[in-house]
Structure 1
């Protein structure tokens, strides 16, 4: 079939326009992590199971940026958590890990949606066992009056996830000033007539210079209908020298409600890389301020990198729970029957594999 020269020109123009639109749109990246492990825990009884997310939470996501010119970029990210052991969604929502859209400018970045709170970032990036569900992780810290500053919960102002992940949120982060960045986030309670009494406010600062990295965080969470009024103050730092890194931090929870269920946790750890091998150890302590309740966890971990994207890992941790009337803690939710009033301590052994794409 012969085409008229005009038709050929029209097709060429349409193709060029399509190519230009594609270039302006930017590339959408599909990414993910699949991470599963075998866990054996011994307390009052013994528990053996396959779990998801030992080094990193299993997930898949989409993200992209578009260059709008003059230093302005549009961006979005949507990320779904996966419970790899049974195929269900994590975090109680399909895009439960993150879901936001925004603009980046020379004066900072503004985003709207479901986003990480600062205490989640601090307890993850400054901990060698992160805030996942294995080892002496920072996930042990919390549970004061049912309020979970690291794991997140359903009692905060913005529902599922606060304060670790904050729904209905507006977040601003400044550009870097000689290594220092500051940011703020407001999670709107979306309750008529209760703008200031039901909301989450989060401010933070982070300074990074060479081998030194430090972060401070303040989260204020209020729910008028339940009289929840909790303030969390956190600080952490890390220092790298050669193939070694040391980390540490503290999280203090001030319950200003009637329950007055204050608490504090802290951790110190380090890791050391030898070629494809990574060795790590950490100590974590979680304590109720107005009582004798305390959890201490000490453990060691090992990681072997089969490639840049695939890792084998293991850990051995001992959790000691003590104090009358104190709810026993573990790095993950505590299964019924694992501890008892006469045997409250837990020894945990883990072995798993993580693959990133």
Structure 2
């Protein structure tokens, strides 16, 4: 990360104004990012494909973060973060600063208020309590979803509803508490901005978390009335996760469920359990994940995978992994942590095997 300290002279301010603007009023400005690329092979009952992808361990990104100390325990900050599709040189999330874009105001004894596009508790917790995060490198928590086209982790609604939920929420006001003895909580409201309908298209989100020593436990809840395209859409999602560390060994798992309250009533749920073990610069990990659409008999996805990471330095990591996804019954219902290319599955065989190998550089 590049840290720009307060500017003390007009000449220094002129030299950096193109990059940072008027940063002389801030205590710090941090420019940060992740460049993550991997090669991938996918085999299924209908065919196979090889491709180059962006964001295996972490989503590729470029961000700007600033904070000003206002004195007396008060501070103001902002984050502008754009997702990058490095394989094609484009930005992600269908928006210039689609990962995050908010300003915040905090008072240390009371917590923080954040305004703008922000992560939901579903996204944060499904990443924190999954060994493979919620990305496409292995059987991650991104396998869970697809209930009536609703993706509680991938957040496909970003491109179809004005609220942006459920992974990232637009027009959001969020309160985050301080940490009291390892406990903290947060609540968020996403304005739907529908004329003459204060509740239309809005999102409500809340979470609570306790982390102390080797124990980490959390729960989150999202009530999403994403209705700019389908006015009757209303889904409630909740997640419970836990983690425990035994020295170099970490265990993580979670359960996520979606209650579809629309006429279609396409409910679903999923869970995962994984572990990783660090030995010096090496990290070995394994995870098992299950996805279950409740409204379809015998439809179920199971994923099992192992991965390996090798840290060349604090900034650079090499990684690889192999995963298998078993998709029971129903052509077209195949699930994986990645988008499934056309022709890979068949009407009689939806099972998938994935191999990845890549590199992540952080700055």
TM-score by length of 2: 0.91
**8 Å contact from structure 2 (residues 101, 118) kept in 1:** yes
The match for 1:165 is 168
The match for 1:266 is 271
TM-fit CA distance, 1:33: 0.3
Q: What is the total number of aligned residue pairs between the two structures?
A: 342
The match for 2:248 is 243
What is the distance in 1 between the residues matched to 2:40 and 2:319? 12
The match for 2:26 is 25
TM-fit CA distance, 1:338: 1.0
**8 Å contact from structure 1 (residues 153, 159) kept in 2:** no
Q: Deviations over 1:59-79 (max 9, x none)?
A: 010001100011100000000
Select which of 57, 61, 65 maps to 1:59. Answer: 61
**8 Å contact from structure 1 (residues 202, 219) kept in 2:** yes
The match for 1:285 is 290
Q: Deviations over 1:281-329 (max 9, x none)?
A: 0000000112221110000000000001100000100001112366211
**8 Å contact from structure 1 (residues 268, 282) kept in 2:** yes
- State the structure with more CA Rg: 1
1:128 corresponds to 2:134: no
**8 Å contact from structure 1 (residues 250, 265) kept in 2:** yes
2:76 is paired with a residue of what secondary structure?
A: strand
The match for 1:351 is 357
Q: CA RMSD in A?
A: 1.9
Segments of 5+ residues of structure 2 without an aligned counterpart are 1-7, 14-21
Select which of 173, 178, 182 maps to 1:175. Answer: 178
Segments of 5+ residues of structure 1 without an aligned counterpart are 1-12
The match for 2:212 is 209
What is the distance in 2 between the residues matched to 1:157 and 1:53? 23
What is the distance in 2 between the residues matched to 1:121 and 1:14? 40
TM-fit CA distance, 1:198: 2.2
1:109 corresponds to 2:112: yes
- Trace 1:1-357 onto structure 2 (pairs within 5 A): 25-43=26-44, 44-105=46-107, 106-154=109-157, 159=162, 161-224=164-227, 225-291=230-296, 292-324=298-330, 327-357=333-363
2:56 is paired with a residue of what secondary structure?
A: coil
User: Cα–Cα, structure 1 residues 14 and 142, in superposed 2: closer, same or farther, change >3 Å?
Assistant: closer
The match for 2:17 is none
2:157 is paired with a residue of what secondary structure?
A: coil
What is the distance in 2 between the residues matched to 1:209 and 1:264? 28
1:336 is paired with a residue of what secondary structure?
A: coil
Q: Deviations over 1:19-39 (max 9, x none)?
A: xx9675212100000000000
* Structure 1 range deviating more: 108-117 or 328-337: 328-337
Q: Runs (4+) of structure 1 moved beyond 4 Å?
A: 21-24, 155-158
